[in-house]
A and B are shown apart, each in its own frame.
Chain A
Amino acid sequence: MSNANSVFDMNDHIQKEYLELLQSIKKTISKENAELLLDEIQIFWKKREQKIDFILKWLSSEKYVISYFTCATVLDTSGTDYYSFLLTGDYHIFDDPVVFHLGSSTKTDGEFSEYLLNMVIKTIEDNIRILTSYNHFIWVIPIRFLYSALSTIDDIEGKVDSLFLSLFSNITSMDEYFSKCKSVSDIDTNISEVKKRMICLSENERKDSTFIDKMTALKNERTIKMLHLNNDAEIFYFQMKSYFLQSIDTLFTAINANMFPFIRYSPSFLTFQMVSKAFYSSPDTILVVSKSFLNFALYKSLDCENFKDIGMEKYMHIIIKEGYRSELRNFNTIDNNDINFAGIKSIVGRITTDIKDKAMGHKEKKDSLRDLI
């Protein structure tokens, strides 16, 4: 008699149900019914909240063995970028952002709705691709929607404003900030030099970009233009507040869900790292930040194009069979509250070379991916 009804079967069933829902939504979605359909997705997940909770709880008794890909609109499986995501952790979840578009739609005008609709469709298509072709090793679950801990944090607005004010050396209140700063040069004059270098406002910033360069690039972003904010000070505050809120949410969601985040987007990750330091007193925070830093370092350092010819199946066999995940699980990225850059560089370099070498001599294995996972 074969075993059945395992937590994997239970999860597969939910993933299949979700695939069917997304496929039917994709056929009918329009600007007029998008809100209604997104609401249906929210209800779908709310109805299955207890089931997801149960499945994730019983996947493993160990802490932080699930890596989730978060703060992204799509995972994008068309290239090899996401290969590094699969290197750490025993299980992998794409934090489905579709439900979050529902919140955005309420504060936008007609033009943005068109833009939003395209974003929603793009995410739905990406989800369908994962659920169809990568469902044996990546699951689609709206982690932030189900596990967000933001509402449980006292005085979140106050905490965000404190983090924002900590960027300045001589401004101590929000009123003072808005009275002293209007233009980008006002902010540039008041912001601390160290923080200027640490802040990352958009993905393609160069290391030597000045703060003014960073703000100029930000102001040119479509989503910022659509907000019609009054001045540069409001833009900067809006952007940093979004990143701070996202970072605090990510940190506490990760701890609440017993997972560690994979953040690909540089501004989100760098802010996450900056914000997390304020919570280093908790061992869980250190563990989550340590694992997420390793994720980010692997993403930035691992040239996944090297593995393009290997193909996903073979790549997965190699990383699981050769024990890279086990090795990375025990790797400490944070040592005495400092990031172990040298260690990360060394392990990433070795793993890249190793995987390439193994791939050259790798023969097809009989085990299915499902057996390995």
Chain B
Amino acid sequence: MNEPELAIENSRYGPRRLTVELTNVCNLHCSYCLRDEDALYHSPAHFFPVELLSRVLGDARECMQIEQVMFTGGEVTIHPAFGEIIETVAAHGLKCSFITNGWHFERVWPVVLKQRAAITHVAFSLDGATREAHDHWRGAGSFKRVVQALSRCWANDFPFLLKVGIRRDTVQDLERIAVFAARMGAAALSFAHLMPTSNDIATSLALTLDERAEAEREIALLARIFKMRIGIDVGYYNTELASPCSALSGVSANINYRGHLSLCCNLSGYRGGNGEEDVITDLNHEEFGVAFARLQQVAATQSELRIKALTDLAAIGAKADLTTGSPCLFCLNTMGKTPWDSLVQISPLTSDRQTLPLLS
């Protein structure tokens, strides 16, 4: 019996787009979140300026030919000018989507409805198909808020998708989550491997290479069974030399809540990370076009680094380990985002990972 192939988007990298972090703050405290904890909870709240958004959208449309904008955070619905943000996208003839925990969705719903022509869909984060599973991570009442948000979308025929992290607790419920998403009327269900932000998270929540492969096979099977679109975000094991993601292929770019252009929203403000090699410049003081050209250089360099690591291993007949085989983990590791993992060395000359003993 042939293994089902992983579902791949019709357009390999999706539409040309910007990802914009509307804010650094969030009203929830999910312990596995990949955003820096200080930025989320202990720093002054920054909200992406509408004027800056308007400028960069115009510039990005011209030099990057973007068609869409994806808003992320923090929690985007906290932005006090959320309505103006969406209006700005519409005014530029672009479309947008946003990801939200759903808690404040009722508050932004009038804007979402009014500007629905400019919004392709809303993505809701979900941590399980039950109140217990979801609220365990996001706090009491969160599941109810998400379901109410889904209800609004369903009643108004507004497309939405659900985004679910693949962790030890969710991996046993992939099918159940898919049934829930389908019955709730989701247009799509998107899974993504957990990106660990500490040794503790890595060992207690993240899956091993073999476990990830099994989860990916299951997701591919679900994608074949369900009419609803089911997929897995970039980060799955992929040793093809072609660009593994929109960021490295130049199809997307990220702008953080401070207005800094960077390579990818997954790397941006990574919890526990030291490196800022993914950050190009401050767009408050530099033109997007000039900055984007430098971003493409960084993307090209990173791609070459990845290709070299993979070809070196292939040359000696070694299988890429998880950190090399997962494009996201590779970038995190090589860009200094996972210093807690620095004791684990990847030797290209052997097929085994070498773990140094922890020194007391």
Asked if A and B bind, the verdict is: no
B residues whose Cβ falls under 8 Å from a Cβ of A: none
